Chain A
Amino acid sequence: MRMRQWQKPFWTPLRPLEDCGTRYNPSMRAQVVQAIHDAFHPSKVDDENLKEVDGRVFGSAKVIESPVFDGLDDARRQRLFWEHLIKSLGSESTNVGPVILEPTSRG
């Protein structure tokens, strides 16, 4: 017997994303966070305000407890972050940002 749409298990994907004719990369946000980790080796990245809309990742991330990050000015932080971003995303990097990298005080 054929199942109705509402009877299908809720986790059944109707169509894989790559078939939707879009370049949407579901892991891009994760790769942005990974690039922050690789660049600054923080104890944690607070990515609550990092958004992903229509395949574009933007917003801000807090880099928590990173001596590397704390030792650089804003321009050099962005330089290092992008270096790692380009390594992992290549030309897709233009779907990222700008990402504001925020410091956090250790209290």
Chain B
Amino acid sequence: MRGTLDALRQSLPQLIRVAAEKVQSQFVWRVDGSVYQYTHFKTLREMLGGPIIKPPDVAKPMSELWATSSVHLNDTNEFDRGREVVEAVLSELPDDKITSRMRLAVRDADALEVYCTSFSGVDDDLSQWRGYGGDGSGVCLEFDLGRLIAGLDGVGYWLIYGKPGNEATQRAVAKELVRYIHASIQTALPSPTVPGAVFNEVREQLREIWPALFLAFKHLDFSAEQEFRFVYSAAVGGRRTPAFRPDPLVPFVALRMRPSGPLPIKGIRLGPAVGSSANIRSLELALRELKLSHVTVSRSDIPYLPR
């Protein structure tokens, strides 16, 4: 049973993809090209070595991404939105012991130690600069999606958007997924009689699996972001001791590439408010000294000046 559920949780992103494509034939699940992460300039400096960057002393620049506890996401209802969708479609499954454990595990699931790092499918976008890129004074990191999916810790997927009153897609995708999970458990159950302890284990394991699934669903009002997300939890890759960053105390874990190496960053775009030629040339120099000269530097094309 444990092996089956382990394999199940590791297959989650692909299952979400298949379910999404099945439900919406026009759904394009991109697995190559670029995704973008808008962030503050100080985050870029941290990735390059710290507040003061001294190239010879920097051991592994740009080799990790910080994934934040999902209780600190900007959509405050995010985890609950996914929980609601999954809970609703569970009522459409056969009323048996497996479904009952699935339902109990939904209630048990907790978001605290489930970590997320998010990307957008949209390059150089004003609302992204305003929302995440320091109001135009930050940077936009361009990642190679194919290499990210193949190498980064955790599970990565595109989000499925919806909201109460407009949730047909979310529900259809969730229904496919819970049906699959139900069928998977059914095939793995020992026969002819199933000891109660096995059902307890099912509940325990599902408690860990659900959060990664809940986080695939987001409120429709965020759909312009075209978010691709990596999720990490003990269930997905083993427990890691979290670190804590300020604002005021946010748990996070560092995600890395396997085999180890720098993140697949192709380019850095400076925000509209910091895209001066002096900044571009200084960043190019820093990247060259850090042996990251393959990373291109550009500036935003948006004529935006924060006031």
What mask results when residues 58 to 72 of chain A are scored 1 for a CB within 8 Å of chain B, else 0? 101000000000011
Contact present for A91 and B4 (CB under 8 Å): no
CA distance A59 to B36 in the complex (A): 38
What mask results when residues 96 to 107 of chain A are scored 1 for a CB within 8 Å of chain B, else 0? 011111000000
| B266 interfacial by beta-carbon distance below 8 Å | no
CA distance A29 to B202 in the complex (A): 26
Contact present for B236 and A75 (CB under 8 Å): yes
CA distance A102 to B17 in the complex (A): 24
Contact present for A83 and B258 (CB under 8 Å): no
CB interface residues, A 66-86, toward B, < 8 Å: 71-80, 82-83, 85-86
On chain A, the residues within 8 Å of B294 by CB distance are none
CB interface residues, B 78-118, toward A, < 8 Å: none
CB interface residues, B 1-19, toward A, < 8 Å: 3-8, 10-11, 13-15, 17-19
| B237 interfacial by beta-carbon distance below 8 Å | yes
Knowing A76-B258, A79-B150, A91-B22, say if A86 contacts B7 (CB, 8 Å): no
Grouping DSSP codes into helix (H, G, I), strand (E, B) and loop, the B interface class, with mixed when no group exceeds half, is helix
Contact present for B14 and A58 (CB under 8 Å): no
On chain A, the residues within 8 Å of B19 by CB distance are 94
On chain A, the residues within 8 Å of B149 by CB distance are 79
On chain B, the residues within 8 Å of A93 by CB distance are 14, 18
Closest-by-CB residue of A relative to B156 is A79
On chain A, the residues within 8 Å of B17 by CB distance are 86
| B180 interfacial by beta-carbon distance below 8 Å | yes
CB interface residues, B 227-257, toward A, < 8 Å: 236-237
Interface bracket on A: 20 to 34
CB interface residues, A 6-50, toward B, < 8 Å: none
Q: Which of B8, B10, B21, B155 has the most CB of A within 10 A?
A: B10
| A53 interfacial by beta-carbon distance below 8 Å | yes
Contact present for B4 and A94 (CB under 8 Å): no
CA distance A20 to B15 in the complex (A): 28
Binds A, one of B164-172, B181-189, B268-276, B299-307: B181-189
Contact present for B7 and A101 (CB under 8 Å): yes
Partner of A91 from B21, B150, B188 at Cβ < 8 Å: B21
CA distance A60 to B8 in the complex (A): 12
| B176 interfacial by beta-carbon distance below 8 Å | yes
Instruction: For residue A62, give the distance in angstroms from its CB to the closest CB of chain B.
Output: 13
Partner of A82 from B3, B14, B183 at Cβ < 8 Å: B14
Contact present for A94 and B11 (CB under 8 Å): no
CB interface residues, B 137-194, toward A, < 8 Å: 149-151, 154-155, 176, 180, 183-184, 187-188
| B195 interfacial by beta-carbon distance below 8 Å | no
Instruction: For residue A60, give the distance in angstroms from its CB to the closest CB of chain B.
Output: 7
Q: Which of B18, B180, B188 has the most CB of A within 10 A?
A: B18
Contact present for B14 and A83 (CB under 8 Å): yes
Contact present for A98 and B176 (CB under 8 Å): no
On chain B, the residues within 8 Å of A91 by CB distance are 18, 21-22
Contact present for B22 and A56 (CB under 8 Å): no
Contact present for A98 and B184 (CB under 8 Å): yes
Instruction: For residue B149, give the distance in angstroms from its CB to the closest CB of chain A.
Output: 7
5 contacts between A and B (CB under 8 A): A78-B7, A78-B10, A82-B11, A90-B18, A97-B11
For the A-B complex with A86-B17, A94-B176, A97-B11 known, give 14 more contacts whose Cβ atoms are closer than 8 Å: A56-B183, A56-B187, A58-B188, A72-B258, A74-B7, A74-B10, A75-B155, A76-B150, A82-B11, A91-B21, A91-B22, A97-B8, A98-B7, A100-B3
